[in-house]
Structure 1
Amino acid sequence: MASPNISFDTLPASIRKPGKYFEFNTKLAVRTLPANVQRVLIVAQGTAEGTQPALTPVEVFSDEEARALFGTGSLAHLMVRAAITANPYLRLSVITVADDAAGIAATGKVALTGTSAGVGVVSLTIGAQLVQVSAALADTAAAVAASLAEKVNAHRTLPVKAAAVGGDVTLTARNKGAAGNGVSLACSLAVDGLAAVVTPMAGGMVDPDIAPALAAVFADGHHIIAVPYTAQAQLTALRSHLDAVSHALEQRGAIGVYAHTGTLAQGTTLAELINSGRITCALLPGTTSPAWELAAAYASVIASEEDPARPLNTLALSPVAVPPVAKRLGRMEQESALYNGCTPLEVGPGEKVQIVRAITTYTRDPQGVEDIALLDLTTIRTLDYIRKACRERISLRFPREKLTNRTSAKVRSELIDVLYKLEELEIVEEVKANLPGLLVERDLQDPNRLDAKIPADVVNGLHVFAGRIDLLL
């Protein structure tokens, strides 16, 4: 160093040859905040038909590409389809896991009887997708069943395959495990002489362990991880992964997303078992869209909002099927969901499913005391972004800094600049009032370490407005 206030990286102080030497300093070039593009990862099952090896992440850009990579109608394929439908500009990666060796695929049945007394149509709804075949005069139940099974197997986006024996069409989930139990079935007949009895999908058991897949992408830096499962074991593995990658030593903050289409009581009971400030559950009872499609659409919509502090209220999940009126959450049921760790979805104008208020499953601290610190999903996303902004600024400005008494003041100055820029973007507030709490000081035990305490008054969402109207006569 040749000057009290100017340091050089490439020009040594020992130069003796006369000359005019200049180096380039790019450490001060970036004066803005970092971008906040969200990378989404889907962890789900593929099938043997897919060409992508399990436990190997890959970027995906289209529904058709996902079908080839992960197998027609696989959970991974259909989650990609739902995610891209909800947000076509998504940065999406997928890692698949194989069916568990002990897994059992869910099955259902449509039993047709009789003989067609005219010309008409037989309609089978699988999840939110419709399969139709025509019935001619005098067609037997067996003939119609064979046509229906053929049409199901030719469909490129169904989560089941079909086999016809006599008048019975047996539907089997393409992936083993409990997820297949969530595929709804309905059959309607617009033809005389035929009748149908539907047996719901059931019997699917043993979802795969997702821990190996999460371990394989530990260092990849995804911001949102969506899973199709609603079992405590898989969600606990997801929670452990998120806690690990978001730890202060790793600093790759991420959130997890799952969905529940069962009852309010089932959804809140599961959320209480997870209780994580980094996991969010979309709750929509009664929809014919399977839970995995709902989870993928929800994750995709979250990723569409790069401002971490901006609420997601009213954003629509375009591919999700609207539930019948009788199944929709009422006003107080939505309140119950919001007090018990579930993000309620509702049907808005135009019969579109939309977010009421995005929250996490975190409701209680380690002592069991009710805690709203991480209630809103925006809070943890904002904290992750503040950490990213501060970390990148310090890394850019001080890549090879010596630790002297002047260093603390320089670091504090940079942190103040970051906080003011965050305030300009309405990500934090009251920066000036909180500046006395911004401390940068040497560590008492490590002579090579500088410690900082950074107050961050995160901007909250405007979720409730209350007004009083005074009557004047």
Structure 2
Amino acid sequence: MPISFANIPANIKVPLYWVEVDPSMAGLPSINLRALMVGIMTADGDATPDVPIPIGSQAQADMRFGQGSELSRMFQAYYANNFANEVWGLPLAEPVGAAAASGTITVVTAPAEAGTIHLYIAGTHVPVNVTPTDTIDVIAAAIAAAINEDDTLPVTAVAAPAPAATVTLTAMWKGILTNDITVSLNYYGARGGEKLPPGLEITLPTDGLLTGGSGTPVFDDAINNMGEEPFEYVAMPYTDSSSLFDWDQEFGFTDDGRWGWQRQLFGHVFSAKRGTYADLLLFGQLHNSGVESIMAFEVASPSPCFEWAAAYAAKAQRALVNDPARPLQALSFNKIKAAGIHERFNFAELNSLASNGLAIQKIGADKQPMIAREQTTYQWNLYGQTDDAYELVTTLATLAKLLRNQRHAITSKFPRHKLANDGTRFGPGQAIVTPGIIKGELIAQYQQDMWSGLVEDLRNFKRHLLVERDPDNPNRVNVLYPPDLINQLRIFAVLAQFRLQYDRGIDNVIIGQNQPPYNAASNA
């Protein structure tokens, strides 16, 4: 019996017609590349800490993690940037012994005219209307009431009466990133119709940030509870060395990492960090991971780092699911507020930040921050020498797609095959594979991947591809797989060598060389 059947017995006697269905030559690789938002929940949420759960709407995020919580706010940023892909939440309990950040708004003088206080909490607009008859304590109470009325805000407010006329803001949860909650006024300025009413004076927390927050989550249980579930795009906003190390170990290239040979789950970790140019430059020099990408943004941005991280992961997922090899540059972060024009990083600063392992953003035509370069923190090889192998998110995203395509092809077409040497004569239809057959399959898959715009240079791929039977294990095939990943158009350099006027003599010589001699008679 030359044809290899998987299910129909060779000794069947009962007539007549029996058929088994074999899908090995029909299927196409398909995987649902999920996103995962990682953040602290509040006591109002009903989710179990450290256990990932799927989330289908903002209402579900609010219910499971608590309105105004770090994780709920991350989902607001996610859904503003990605409405189409699957996303899960990984809720964290408040760290033991942690503290919530706080800050004070003080109403110093009452207004002489009616108007609106355009207050922004964590980038969210909180308008407060005032009149000339309002006293400073009335205004303070109105500010507190407006803040508390918005359940989505990450703070609660308590007003103290005159003579203090203050509003104390306290973060909804405890943890170090509550220090990244901003308080600002008049984001769009007078040209945008936002200014304090005449006579009204208000002071905000120093540098426009809450202070006093402390406590970083311990991720051991959360990471363990992820198990072998695939999570391709993880928004993890904590950028302390310990947290980044834990997530690098989970997603990295070690035996136990998701990019390691045992698990083959792959994936990326996206984060964001607020800071001055000098602080961010020094921060970038401390990290070196091919699976982590940290977006640098300015101190003056009203949006918190956890919302930047969520928006970054959301836009990366939305784009890379469609095509993992296309650059992410020019993708806008919707509803993320950028720093003011005079407070943004300049060209030289952005270039240096990218050269030191940080992803960078700049302002697009829609006045929203947009990705300029999706840099990872990877900068050096094992010997500390500069290296750009994993410099860009698209590199590993493309490689993951190739490996999944290859795995699908091999496991679908050769799931229960016998292995023989090249040149072995066997009947057609036999479930036998040789190194040459496998090599042909890999070349065919490479051609499909090239057609899909993932790789290039088929000729050299064929030259360097090696498929051989292991000399010590007759049941094993070893493959040296050398794909040439397609690149991205990131720099378009032009030398504009202009003239005020071309030399007429040279033009005449050229024209004369390219045209037949003038013949008056023939043109008569």
With the length of structure 1 as denominator, give the TM-score of the two structures: 0.94
8 Å Cα contact 1:284/1:346 also seen in 2: no
2:340 corresponds, among 324, 328, 334, to 324
Alignment of 1:206 onto 2:205: no
* Residues in 2 aligned to 1:47 and 1:380: alpha-carbon distance in whole angstroms: 35
8 Å Cα contact 2:97/2:215 also seen in 1: yes
Alignment of 1:375 onto 2:391: yes
Number of the residue aligned with 1:357: 373
Number of the residue aligned with 1:411: 438
* Residues in 2 aligned to 1:122 and 1:13: alpha-carbon distance in whole angstroms: 84
Q: Report deviation, 1:82.
A: 0.3
User: Per-residue displacement from partner, 1:285-314 (whole Å, max 9, x unpaired)?
Assistant: 131111111110010000111211111111
* Residues in 2 aligned to 1:141 and 1:20: alpha-carbon distance in whole angstroms: 91
Residues 24-43 of structure 1: pairs in structure 2 closer than 5 A: 24-30=21-27, 32=28, 34-35=29-30, 37-43=32-38
1:428 corresponds, among 434, 455, 458, to 455
1:8 corresponds, among 5, 8, 29, to 5
Q: 1:85 to 1:383 in 2, by over 3 A?
A: same
* Residues in 1 aligned to 2:442 and 2:132: alpha-carbon distance in whole angstroms: 79
Alignment of 1:284 onto 2:314: no
Alignment of 1:158 onto 2:153: yes
Alignment of 1:231 onto 2:240: yes
Residues 264-343 of structure 1: pairs in structure 2 closer than 5 A: 264-285=277-298, 286-305=300-319, 306=321, 307-343=323-359
Q: Report deviation, 1:156.
A: 2.5
Number of the residue aligned with 1:459: 486
SS at match of 2:409: helix
Q: 1:450 to 1:125 in 2, by over 3 A?
A: same
Q: What fraction of aligned residue pairs are identical, expressed as a percent?
A: 29
Q: 1:119 to 1:434 in 2, by over 3 A?
A: closer
SS at match of 2:204: strand
Number of the residue aligned with 1:173: 171
Number of the residue aligned with 2:517: none
* Residues in 1 aligned to 2:344 and 2:115: alpha-carbon distance in whole angstroms: 33
SS at match of 2:418: coil
Q: Rg larger in 1 or in 2?
A: 2
Alignment of 1:254 onto 2:262: no
SS at match of 2:126: strand
Aligned residue pair count: 468
SS at match of 2:456: coil
Q: Report deviation, 1:16.
A: 5.0
With the length of structure 2 as denominator, give the TM-score of the two structures: 0.85
8 Å Cα contact 2:95/2:174 also seen in 1: yes
Q: Which moved more, 1:185-194 or 1:368-377?
A: 185-194
Number of the residue aligned with 2:464: 437
Q: 1:7 to 1:345 in 2, by over 3 A?
A: same
8 Å Cα contact 1:227/1:258 also seen in 2: yes
Q: 1:21 to 1:138 in 2, by over 3 A?
A: closer
User: Per-residue displacement from partner, 1:15-40 (whole Å, max 9, x unpaired)?
Assistant: 4566454332211112x4x2464310
Number of the residue aligned with 2:183: 185
Alignment of 1:219 onto 2:208: no
Number of the residue aligned with 2:424: none
* Residues in 1 aligned to 2:7 and 2:196: alpha-carbon distance in whole angstroms: 82
Q: Report deviation, 1:192.
A: 5.0
SS at match of 1:467: coil
8 Å Cα contact 1:211/1:238 also seen in 2: no
* Residues in 1 aligned to 2:326 and 2:240: alpha-carbon distance in whole angstroms: 30
* Residues in 2 aligned to 1:470 and 1:135: alpha-carbon distance in whole angstroms: 60
SS at match of 1:133: strand
Q: Report deviation, 1:204.
A: 0.9
* Residues in 2 aligned to 1:209 and 1:93: alpha-carbon distance in whole angstroms: 19
8 Å Cα contact 2:284/2:353 also seen in 1: no
Residues 94-109 of structure 1: pairs in structure 2 closer than 5 A: 94-109=89-104
Number of the residue aligned with 2:511: none
8 Å Cα contact 1:187/1:196 also seen in 2: no
Q: Report deviation, 1:404.
A: 2.1
SS at match of 1:27: coil
* Residues in 2 aligned to 1:18 and 1:186: alpha-carbon distance in whole angstroms: 83
8 Å Cα contact 2:287/2:357 also seen in 1: no
8 Å Cα contact 2:116/2:130 also seen in 1: yes
SS at match of 1:202: coil
8 Å Cα contact 2:58/2:72 also seen in 1: yes
Number of the residue aligned with 1:396: 412
SS at match of 2:450: helix
* Residues in 2 aligned to 1:80 and 1:297: alpha-carbon distance in whole angstroms: 9
Q: Report deviation, 1:447.
A: 3.2
User: Per-residue displacement from partner, 1:118-137 (whole Å, max 9, x unpaired)?
Assistant: 43333322121121222234
Number of the residue aligned with 2:514: none
Letter matched to residue 222 of structure 2? A
Q: Report deviation, 1:430.
A: 0.8
1:23 corresponds, among 20, 23, 37, to 20
Alignment of 1:384 onto 2:400: yes
Q: 1:263 to 1:116 in 2, by over 3 A?
A: closer
Q: Report deviation, 1:116.
A: 4.9
Q: 1:317 to 1:36 in 2, by over 3 A?
A: farther
* Residues in 1 aligned to 2:270 and 2:69: alpha-carbon distance in whole angstroms: 19
8 Å Cα contact 2:375/2:392 also seen in 1: yes
* Residues in 2 aligned to 1:289 and 1:40: alpha-carbon distance in whole angstroms: 21
* Residues in 1 aligned to 2:115 and 2:331: alpha-carbon distance in whole angstroms: 40
Q: Report deviation, 1:138.
A: 3.2
Q: Report deviation, 1:262.
A: 1.3
Q: Report deviation, 1:268.
A: 3.3
* Residues in 1 aligned to 2:32 and 2:485: alpha-carbon distance in whole angstroms: 20
Q: 1:192 to 1:463 in 2, by over 3 A?
A: closer
8 Å Cα contact 1:363/1:375 also seen in 2: yes
Alignment of 1:126 onto 2:121: yes
1:70 corresponds, among 65, 71, 79, to 65
